[in-house]
Structure 1
């Protein structure tokens, strides 16, 4: 399977139809889905009809899909996925960063490692000018990953939840990283 990016421990690759069961297992875990939809699992039909097509969608402005399957580089174990998708289908200037990893991968630095690699690729090679990420205000773990990856808090906002879930009453948060800030951080790291 061709890989899009590799880190010390991760391999990011395009999704295939063979990933349907892995995605079902990921979305079937109530803790993984807690801040997405309150912990409700996705059906096999939803994975096949909606999730996989969305994850495999190719964005011409980036020349890539917007989602990547994440595997352990050494053993090939499926860990989850990363999102790096343009907010405007025809313009790569602003992309959204996201991640969904299985519980066995939590607390090991995979989310930060994959996020940093995508950020570097976006600014260095894909013409990205701004990266945004958001989560529920109460999702402290995800917020910490955003901060470790270099994003900074931008604002609180109230999302339009079709159905309120625990914690949604506290609203959501948006983080961002601009090309200028990334370049400044990159120069200091040298």
Structure 2
């Protein structure tokens, strides 16, 4: 995934070196330890069909599809609150537009609220990242704000800002059938 510039278009705008990936992975693992039950999961598919590894289980067979993320909120424009998680997903390009990010995100929301007991889940992306915004909307997150962080090396589209979407446990439960 980190060798495909299109997958990283709205994150880094370029591919990443092996050292950058190793450092990023170590940072992710340290962050995941802050709240029991939150973290990162790999998704796999077999027999031409997709099967996500549902938290907290992991699958170790089949084709790697992508990384599903539900760490504690941790960014400079995010709350420092252990009851708030950040939803994220990154898929190999050949698995885009198949509903896999939405399917995995719904499962991560269920996990966040029913298993971990989070109060709120947020998701952030560049305003111009329409695909990611559609996933957020399709799983019930609502637009909260547009903000304009300062970047050392801004990506194309940065001038339109970043957007935040969110859903609370009460909103999620109210939207569930039955």
Question: TM range, normalised to the smaller chain?
Answer: 0.7 to 0.9
1:130 aligns with 2:117: no
Alignment correspondent of 2:106: 116
Is 1:94–1:131's contact at 8 Å kept on the other side of the alignment?
yes
Looking at secondary structure, tell me which structure has more helix per residue: 1
Alignment of 1:62 with 2:48, yes or no, is no
Q: Contact 1:85 / 1:96 at 8 angstroms: preserved in 2?
A: yes
Q: Are the counterparts in 2 of residues 95 and 130 from structure 1 also a CA contact under 8 Å?
A: yes
* Aligned-pair Cα RMSD in Å: 2.0
Structure 1 stretches of 4+ moved >4 Å: none
Partner residue in 1 for 2:19 = 45
* Mapped contact 1:56–1:65 kept (Cα < 8 A): no
Counterpart in the other structure of 1:94? 84
Runs of at least 5 residues in structure 2 that lack an aligned partner in the other structure: 48-60, 75-79
Q: Following TM superposition, by how much is the alpha carbon of 1:33 offset from its aligned partner in structure 2, in angstroms?
A: 0.8
CA contact (8 A) 2:38 2:112 kept: no
Equivalent in 168, 171, 175 of residue 161 of structure 2: 171
Note the residue ranges of structure 1 that are not aligned, 5 or more in a row.
Answer: 1-25
* TM-score, normalised by the number of residues in structure 2: 0.83
Normalised to the residue count of structure 1, the TM-score between the two structures is 0.78
- 1 or 2, which has the higher strand percentage? 1
- Mapped partners of 1:73, 1:63: distance in 2: 29
